[in-house]
């Protein structure tokens, strides 16, 4: 830590009604890359993920499986925890909404909203979608096959009539609009901010925040015939993990710099309801809600009924973890929808990782191994080409940092790849193999410039492809304690004479098995 500040990044907490799929892996990876980047950049980071275990959807799934909701939650929560590990995620905590600490936080928040006069008892009559765990107004519904009424997401809806507590959301319209106005980056990308603002400008209805027709949830304090609406329960996880209702400690430390990463389908909950709950409780809204797009599979919408759900574990088995991490964050500008295809996956893995990056590292390090006795050569970079190469390498961090601060992962990666391509062009032009006989001192300089460029590249690729980057840094004998961005740049260059381990390939090519 170099005193850069604190940073809190969260994934949505995932419903335990089903197994993890590529959408879950995507959000979690995006958070992991950001968390790793910020840690390397000297920030005190907290990265949270976990599972959303209450509500009617989980209760119904458990019923269908013939198990108790708690048993289903235990089993599937473990799958999500394992997924985070398999993805190489560096989360600092894993929250489950069935934990005691969460019940305490939810009930404290509820009490606070009651004390502020923002919760009142009434009765809800209207549409509810269990799949979305969302209430819908009549005019939001769309017509499905045979004229059936459906939620705008295509989910079935049912008519619900029951006693309910309401949150006075309607009273927060102006404060919310003011928040969006004053904080242009609080909802990103901008298209989502516009969408949210126009929804809020359209007028807000008070929100039903308790249910009485089933039991699987957190009881309303003082009235346990009601359980809390699952979204009020779920959203509160972000502050439970910071120790709420204690607002000193981790809450004071991390909450001011929070980014919630979410899918585009759950923006309204995070950018309208959640900030309103927080404002009502006299807490600051999050710094940013970033909504990413959705993946399709080979051009088709992913759906269980179509049977084309992508299992992240089998992708990792087929292509490798770093390769999948790289692909998901490289393929699509973060915020846009994207299409997964095996062809695109193999293309990026072979051309960008194996050919561009892998060959650069392999040929540079093996020349040092063969021609310099495996030690970093003496050097005196002085040609314009040397200066341009090192200048480009050293300039990357500032640009990448700027992209990462806007969650433009693809742009950050492109900045790095511009330098990888320039380094390959530099090798071709300098032809160090030909200098061995004619000008060994010049060869040494060229190989050192390449090694130093690769050091900078590998420092910056750590958040995206941690295992491969770490192997590259090992091959350059960069000490574990010198891999943070404080060591990036001309002040901590590789030193001559250092012995390097024998180089080894880092990026395998994917060769399609010939079909029989």
| SS3 at position 191 | helix
Q: Is 23 in the site for ligand ME8 (CB under 6 A)?
A: yes
Q: Is 419 in the site for ligand ME8 (CB under 6 A)?
A: no
Q: Do residues 49 and 84 lie in contact, with contact meaning Cβ atoms separated by under 8 Å? A: yes
Alpha carbon 283 to its chain's center: 24
Residues in the chain, overall count? 516
Task: Candidates 160-168, 205-213, 262-270, 376-384: pick the segment binding ligand ME8 (CB under 6 A).
Answer: 262-270
Q: Is 8 in the site for ligand ME8 (CB under 6 A)?
A: no
Question: In terms of DSSP bridges, do strands 258-263 and 219-220 run parallel, antiparallel, or are they unpaired?
Answer: unpaired
What is the Cα–Cα distance from 78 to 81, expressed in whole angstroms?
5
Q: Is 124 in the site for ligand ME8 (CB under 6 A)?
A: no
Provide, rounded to whole angstroms, the least separation between the CB of residue 340 and ligand ME8.
9
Q: Is 262 in the site for ligand ME8 (CB under 6 A)?
A: yes
Within residues 188-247, the interface with ligand ME8 by CB under 6 A covers 234-235, 237
Query: Which residue, 274 or 448, has its beta carbon nearer to ligand ME8?
Result: 274
Angle subtended at Cα 322 by Cα 320 and Cα 326, rounded to the nearest 5 degrees: 120
Which residue, chain included where needed, has tokens 């502020």? 116
Give the per-residue contact string, 299-328, with ligand ME8 (x = CB under 6 A; - = no): ---x--------------------------
Q: Is 263 in the site for ligand ME8 (CB under 6 A)?
A: yes
How many Å is the Cα radius of gyration of the chain?
A: 26
Query: Which residue, 12 or 286, has its beta carbon nearer to ligand ME8?
Result: 12
Query: Which residue, 329 or 435, has its beta carbon nearer to ligand ME8?
Result: 329
Task: Candidates 144-152, 258-266, 418-426, 471-479: pick the segment binding ligand ME8 (CB under 6 A).
Answer: 258-266
Query: Which residue, 14 or 47, has its beta carbon nearer to ligand ME8?
Result: 14
What is the Cα–Cα distance from 148 to 254, expressed in whole angstroms?
46
Q: Do residues 64 and 5 lie in contact, with contact meaning Cβ atoms separated by under 8 Å? A: no
- Using CB under 6 A, which of 14, 37, 128, 464 touches ligand ME8? 14
Q: Is 295 in the site for ligand ME8 (CB under 6 A)?
A: yes
Provide, rounded to whole angstroms, the least separation between the CB of residue 442 and ligand ME8.
51
CB atoms within 10 A of CB 10: 26
Sheet holding 219-220, edge to edge: 210-211, 223-228, 219-220
Residues with Cβ within 8 Å of residue 269, at least 6 apart in sequence: 231, 235
Question: Which residue ranges make up the site for ligand ME8 (CB under 6 A)?
Answer: 12-15, 23-24, 26-27, 52, 234-235, 237, 262-263, 265-266, 294-295, 302
């Amino acid at each position: 830590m170099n005193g850069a500040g604190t940073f809190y990044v969260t994934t949505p907490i995932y419903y335990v009604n089903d197994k993890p799929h590529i959408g879950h892996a995507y959000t979690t990876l995006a958070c992991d890359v950001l968390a790793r980047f910020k840690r390397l950049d000297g920030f005190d980071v907290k990265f949270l993920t976990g599972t959303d275990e209450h509500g009617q959807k989980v209760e119904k799934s458990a019923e269908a499986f013939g198990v108790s909701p708690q048993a289903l939650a235990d089993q599937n929560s473990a799958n999500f925890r394992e997924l985070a590990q398999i993805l190489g995620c560096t989360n600092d905590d894993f929250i489950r909404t069935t934990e005691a600490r969460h019940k305490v936080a939810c009930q404290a928040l509820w009490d606070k909203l009651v004390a502020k006069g923002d919760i009142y008892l009434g009765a809800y009559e209207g549409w509810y979608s269990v799949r979305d765990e969302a209430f819908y107004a009549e005019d939001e519904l769309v017509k499905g096959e045979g004229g059936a009424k459906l939620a705008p997401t295509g989910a079935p809806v049912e008519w619900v009539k029951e006693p309910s507590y309401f949150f006075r959301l309607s009273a927060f319209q102006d404060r919310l609009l003011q928040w969006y106005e004053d904080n242009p980056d609080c909802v990103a990308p901008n298209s989502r901010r516009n969408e949210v603002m126009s929804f809020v400008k359209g007028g807000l209805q008070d929100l039903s925040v308790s249910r009485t027709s089933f039991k699987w949830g957190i009881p309303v304090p003082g009235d346990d015939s009601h359980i809390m609406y699952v979204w009020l329960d779920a959203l509160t996880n972000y502050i439970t993990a910071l120790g709420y209702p204690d607002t000193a400690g981790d809450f004071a430390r991390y909450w001011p710099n929070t980014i919630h990463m979410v899918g585009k389908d759950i923006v309204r909950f995070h950018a309208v309801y959640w900030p309103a709950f927080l404002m009502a409780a006299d807490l600051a809204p999050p710094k940013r809600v970033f909504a990413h797009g959705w993946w399709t599979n080979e051009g088709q919408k992913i759906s269980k009924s179509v049977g084309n759900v992508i299992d992240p574990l089998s992708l990792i088995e087929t292509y490798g973890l770093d390769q999948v991490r790289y692909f998901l964050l490289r393929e699509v500008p973060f915020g846009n929808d994207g299409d997964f295809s095996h062809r695109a996956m193999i293309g990026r893995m072979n051309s960008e990782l194996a050919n561009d990056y892998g060959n650069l590292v392999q040929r540079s390090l093996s020349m040092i191994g063969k021609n310099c006795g495996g030690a970093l050569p003496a050097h005196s970079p002085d040609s314009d080409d040397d200066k341009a190469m090192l200048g480009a390498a050293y300039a990357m961090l500032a640009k990448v940092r700027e992209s990462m601060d806007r969650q433009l992962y693809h742009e950050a990666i492109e900045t790095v790849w511009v330098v990888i391509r320039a380094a390959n062009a530099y090798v071709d032009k300098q032809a160090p193999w030909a200098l061995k006989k004619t000008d060994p001192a010049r060869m040494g300089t060229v190989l050192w410039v390449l090694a130093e460029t690769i050091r900078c590249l590998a420092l910056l690729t750590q958040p995206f492809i941690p295992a491969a980057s770490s192997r590259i840094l090992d091959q350059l004998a960069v000490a574990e304690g010198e891999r943070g961005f404080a060591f990036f740049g001309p002040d901590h260059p590789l030193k001559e004479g250092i012995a390097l381990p024998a180089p080894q390939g880092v990026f395998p090519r994917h060769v399609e098995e010939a079909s029989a």
